[in-house]
Amino acid sequence: MEDGLENKTMKTAALSAGCRWIAHRPVVSVCLYIVAVSAFFLLFPQVDLWASGLFYSDVGGFFAKSEPLLRRFRHLGPHLVKLIAIACLLTLLLKLVLPGRRPLMPLRMPVFLLTSLILGPGVLVNLILKNNWGRPRPVMVEIFGGDMPYQPVWKITQWCDTNCSFVSGEASAGMWLVAAVVFVAPLAWRPLFLAFFLPLSLLLSLNRIVFGGHFLSDTLLSWGLTLLVILLVHRLIYRPGAGGLRDSWLDEKFTRFGRRLHVEAKRTGARLSGAAHRFLGKFKSG
């Protein structure tokens, strides 16, 4: 009885120590995660085929593709990403249009969200990896009714030209919704945001595996790579001290730039008005 209690206490202490280590070294932890997942699927590629095979039948293929509800659900994540991105852009634009007023939110928030979205899901995942690595999607490979061979993770091939399987764009967007949005949410609201976005991200990512659109490895690596970009951008923008951006500095820069735009707009308007008066004056004199 005492031995069992002692073992349980030791396991709890080890788990707590591991969580503290990860919390203090998030970038290193995510890098180790990416290396571990990559090594696992390079050593055991059959796990990818096994996971996709759970949702495939020789008769109907990837049977979930015919479910209208799942097809509509796929678009929920991108719509949420667009709404958040539009809200961020409007916040910055409104500050330029009304430079004398306080912004709707601290300006580091929209800058961080937009920067991490562009660099993570945008540039790294969709522009670089999906368009250059050439990994065929599960629905394209021979074992699932396609005409292409299975390709392992990180192998650059010519089997797929663009918008390929490695890595998952939906999983990347889901991770961005979880990590980036939760990072900027007030502490009191973070449990609520996690309760909504975490299951949503998991379901969106699983949805693409069920459809035969991505392998399990595409999803797991997409999570890690996107989270790594988010952590680096967050460290750059929210770094304490003189190294990071300050909301007051951003507010001042946007205020100055907004006022300059107002001055230029007035000058341009005056020039256009003068040109219009001179043009109309020619007709009056005639």
pLDDT at 218 over 80: yes
> DSSP per residue over 58-104, as a string?
TTTEEGGGG-HHHHHHHTHHHHHHHHHHHHHHHHHHHHHHSTTSPPS
Residue 6 has pLDDT above 70, yes or no: no
- As beta bridge partners, residue 141 has 148
Residue 40's pLDDT is: 98
| Mean pLDDT to the nearest integer, 199-221 | 95
User: For 34-43, 46-55, 114-123, 269-278, which range has the lowest pLDDT when averaged over its residues?
Assistant: 269-278
Q: What is the pLDDT of residues 86-97, one digit of tens each?
A: 999 999 999 999
What are 62's strand-pairing partners? Answer: 56
pLDDT per position as a tens digit, 12-21: 777 788 888 8
Tokens linked to 270:
């005056």
CB atoms within 10 A of CB 227: 24
pLDDT tens digit sequence for 115-171? 999 999 999 999 999 999 999 999 999 999 999 999 999 999 999 999 999 999 999
What DSSP state is assigned to residue 126? Answer: I
pLDDT at 188 > cutoff 70: yes
Task: Please name the residues in contact with 177: beta carbons below 8 A apart, sequence gap of 6 or more.
Answer: 77, 80, 81, 84, 197, 200, 201
Fill in the amino acid letter for 147. Answer: D
Q: Model confidence over 67-110: pLDDT tens digits? A: 888 888 888 989 999 999 999 999 999 999 999 899 989 999 99
pLDDT confidence bin for 33, thresholds 50/70/90? very high
Do 154 and 42 touch, CB atoms closer than 8 A?
yes
For 191, the token pair is 């449990």
CA distances 109 to 20, 112, 182, 234, Å, are 26, 5, 11, 10
Q: What is the mean pLDDT of the chain?
A: 90
**Dist. CA 228–CA 222, nearest whole Å:** 10
Phi-psi region at 241: left, alpha or beta (left = phi > 0; alpha = psi -120 to 50): left
At 269 the pLDDT is 86
Q: What is the mean pLDDT of residues 34-62?
A: 96
pLDDT of residue 2: 56
At residue 187, the pLDDT reads: 87
At residue 119, the pLDDT reads 97
Look at residue 272 in the predicted model and tell me its pLDDT.
83
| 158 vs 151: CA distance, rounded Å | 10
pLDDT given at position 54: 96
Model pLDDT, residue 71: 83
Residues in the chain: 286
Please confirm whether the linkage preceding 141 is cis (ω < 30° from 0).
Answer: no
Q: Dihedral through CA 23, CA 24, CA 25, CA 29, nearest 10?
A: -20
**Residue 63 pLDDT level (bands cut at 50, 70, 90):** confident
CA 122, 126, 131: angle at the middle one, nearest 5?
145
Distance of alpha carbon 218 from alpha carbon 125, whole angstroms:
10
What's the predicted TM-score (pTM) here? 0.89
Q: Using CA atoms, how far apart are residues 218 and 136, in angstroms rounded to an integer? A: 11
Secondary structure tally for the chain: helices H, strands E: 11, 2
Question: What local confidence, expressed as pLDDT, does residue 278 receive?
Answer: 80
Pair 180, 117: CB distance under 8 Å: yes
